[in-house]
Amino acid sequence: MVAYIIGSGAERLLAFPVSKLGTMQRPKLTRDRALARLKAVKDRFSAYIGSRYASKAKDCGSCATPCCADDDFVNVNITRLEGEAIMRTIRLSPRVSPARREEIIGNARAAVRRYGLDRAADTFATTYACPLYEPGRGCLVHYKAKPAPCTQHGCYEEWQDLPDELELRRTERRVAALNRELYGPDEQAWGFRTIPVWIARLADEGVEAPSEGDVPEAEGLVQITRRAAAGRRGGSRG
Ligand code: SF4
Ligand code: SF4
């Protein structure tokens, strides 16, 4: 819904439709708008972690045992909207070829089968190796669709340096609210599931399927850079 500005100065009025009760109706959230708002929420959280904590965390770029590839470690759960952001990223990222996209989807389906991710009663208790991790390059959705728990996570020498949980919870509430506004109150339709489950499901539904007019999107708007204790510029997690 467009807001028209009428007149100027004291005459300026916002011509949003007004209901019979006199309250302004909120424009219906579109999927594209929800994805843009999700990105803004994630960018804000990345900037928060980046400015307060990242410099104290271990350099992921030189990590010999990346946690994203550890099938005993990753238990990240995401919502449907975050899954859709991931699907859009692997469709349009210049770092992901169409063949690599198919491979990621195949790996996600294989992970669902191997770890029984779609059957787990408690999906947070089940771990998996993330299909979005690429050896030597890190997280393929780092710039556009990284889940907030991944941004939060890092290795720190001192427990006092660990990021607080408050901002993460706040971010997750904002993400849930966006899902609720777009998909409705039934959490079964959009609620938390593992990354491979959402990738496999959304691929089956044809969400963000490649099309001939696809133009790769630029990346690199927000990046968390972590420095090792010696002051060496490190890579970002994943
Ligand atoms: S958070 Fe970074 S440093 Fe720690 S295990 Fe994972 S990749 Fe390695
Ligand atoms: S940081 Fe990226 S590769 Fe690692 S678990 Fe999260 S989404 Fe997967």
Angle (CA) 149-155-159 rounded to 5° is 100
Instruction: Tell me, using a 6 A CB cutoff, whether residue 142 lines ligand 1.
Output: no
Pocket mutation for ligand 2, best pick of 133, 153, 226 (most atoms within 8 Å of C-beta): 133
Residue 105 CB–ligand 1 contact under 6 Å: no
For range 23-51, the mean pLDDT? 92
**pLDDT tens-digit series, residues 157-181:** 999 999 999 999 999 999 999 999 9
Please tell me the pTM assigned to this model.
0.83
Give pLDDT tens digits for 170-224: 999 999 999 999 999 999 999 999 999 999 999 999 999 998 888 888 765 444 4
Least confident of 33-42, 155-164, 178-187, 228-237: 228-237
Whole-number Å distance between alpha carbons of 59 and 62: 6
80-98: b (≥16 Cβ within 10 Å) or e: bbbbbbbbbbbbbbebbee
pLDDT reported for residue 212: 83
Banded pLDDT at 2 (limits 50, 70, 90): very low
Atom 6, ligand 2: which residue's CA is nearest?
Answer: 150
Nearest CA among 87, 79, 90 for reference residue 147: 79
**pLDDT of 56-76, one tens digit each?**
999 999 999 999 999 999 999
Closest CA relative to residue 227, chosen from 161, 167, 166, 168: 161
**29 alpha carbon – ligand 2 mean position (Å):** 28
Is the CB of 178 inside a 6 Å radius of any atom of ligand 2? no
Atom of ligand 1 nearest to the CA of 60: 2
Cα 24 to Cα 3, 27, 184, distances in angstroms: 11, 9, 20
What's the length of the chain?
238
Q: What average pLDDT does this structure show over 6-31? A: 54
Q: Of the ligands numbered here, which is closest to the C-alpha atom of 238?
A: 2
> Amino acid letter at 212?
E
108-136 pLDDT, tens digit each: 999 999 999 999 888 889 999 999 999 99
Per-residue confidence band for 232, with pLDDT thresholds at 50, 70 and 90: very low
